Amino acid sequence: MNATTLRQQLAERGLAPNKRFGQNFLIDEDILDAIVDAAELTERDTVLEIGPGTGALTHRLAARAGRLVAVEIDKGLSGFLAEQFADNPRVEILNADILKTDQCSLFAEELSAGRGAVKVVANLPYYITTPILLSLLPKDDLFSRFVVMMQREVADRMQADPGSKDYGALSLAVQYYALPEIVTLVPPGAFYPPPEVTSAVLRLDRHNVPPVSVKDPDRMFALISAAFGKRRKTLSNAIAGAPQLQISAEQVRSALDQMNLDPNTRGETLSLSDYAALSDLL
């Protein structure tokens, strides 16, 4: 579907892209196919689509998945989608905010049957991409794979390595739960209306077991948050200045010495395994 046709269809229903919800509808057929192919769907799969918009991706997902739940915050669009899938019992259109939705209740059948392998496939609203993923990734008993569209710079941060300019707390949080891989880059012209940025389709395959062993993951992430909260400071000073940790600079330096790391090192040089070891020592 091209932009002109989509605009006309929306206008006929009194609808238009809503900036408040960050709506940029994907219309490029090749990119839509690439997203579905990356998800590797079968009839045994249950899929969660977030922000289905006008349904271009939804139709492709419905053709391959055994069950599809599409969560759309826009009431007008959810009604438009409900009309399109009224005769398909395998598709459920839910008018809701995904961040205020109990996903475990939504997929209670899958959980009770021990099928906890729901795949998330979506063109995510860019303004809440990170909150959405960080709310879903920890649910290791429910979600197995994510194939999601996002702003390219966010995708770059999620797969960044230690020492790179994009590396940060987001990189570590995502990589603790899953292996990120950019499937393809997407130009602005693939959307209606076109966004002002280049986008990327990112696939996240959940680790069966976290790549590092750590006594207290929440404590480790608090440590990481402190380390990157003040990037210009050395790691020991950044952590010592975090009130939620109550750790002295001397304690950090002592732990770094045990790890054979320079006491003046900065947070962006440490790997996920380094943070796990540091967290355990502290």
Tens of pLDDT, residues 23-78: 999 999 999 999 999 999 999 999 999 999 999 999 999 999 999 999 999 999 99
Asked whether the beta carbons of 27 and 176 are under 8 A apart, the reply is: no
Residue 198 shares a structural domain with residue 228: no
- Could you tell me the CATH number of the domain that includes residue 277? 1.10.8.100
User: Residue 211: inside a domain, yes or no?
Assistant: no
pLDDT for the residue 13: 87
- Could you tell me the CATH number of the domain that includes residue 96? 3.40.50.150
Residue 72 shares a structural domain with residue 128: yes
What DSSP element (H or E) covers 217? helix 217-229
pLDDT for the residue 114: 63
Locate 82 and state its tokens. Answer: 């409900």
Beta strands in the chain (DSSP E): 25-26, 46-50, 67-72, 91-95, 118-123, 143-151, 178-186, 191-192, 199-206
* Residue 184 DSSP code: E
Q: Identify the domain containing residue 240 by its residue range.
A: 217-281
Locate 282 and state its tokens. Answer: 């502290």
Domain termination residue (choose one: 206, 226, 244): 206
User: Residue 12: inside a domain, yes or no?
Assistant: yes
pLDDT for the residue 115: 57
Domain termination residue (choose one: 158, 174, 206): 206
Residue 155 shares a structural domain with residue 238: no
Residue 101 shares a structural domain with residue 229: no
Tens of pLDDT, residues 83-104: 999 999 999 999 999 999 999 8
User: Residue 26: inside a domain, yes or no?
Assistant: yes
Residue 171 shares a structural domain with residue 233: no
User: Residue 212: inside a domain, yes or no?
Assistant: no
User: Residue 233: inside a domain, yes or no?
Assistant: yes
For CA atoms 177, 182, 188, 191, the dihedral sign is negative
Number of domains forming the structure of the chain: 2
Residue 103 shares a structural domain with residue 53: yes
pLDDT for the residue 104: 87
Domain termination residue (choose one: 172, 206, 240): 206
pTM recorded for the entire structure: 0.93
Residues of the chain with pLDDT under 50: none
The HSE-up count of residue 264 (CA atoms within 13 Å, CB side) is 0
Residue 222 shares a structural domain with residue 131: no
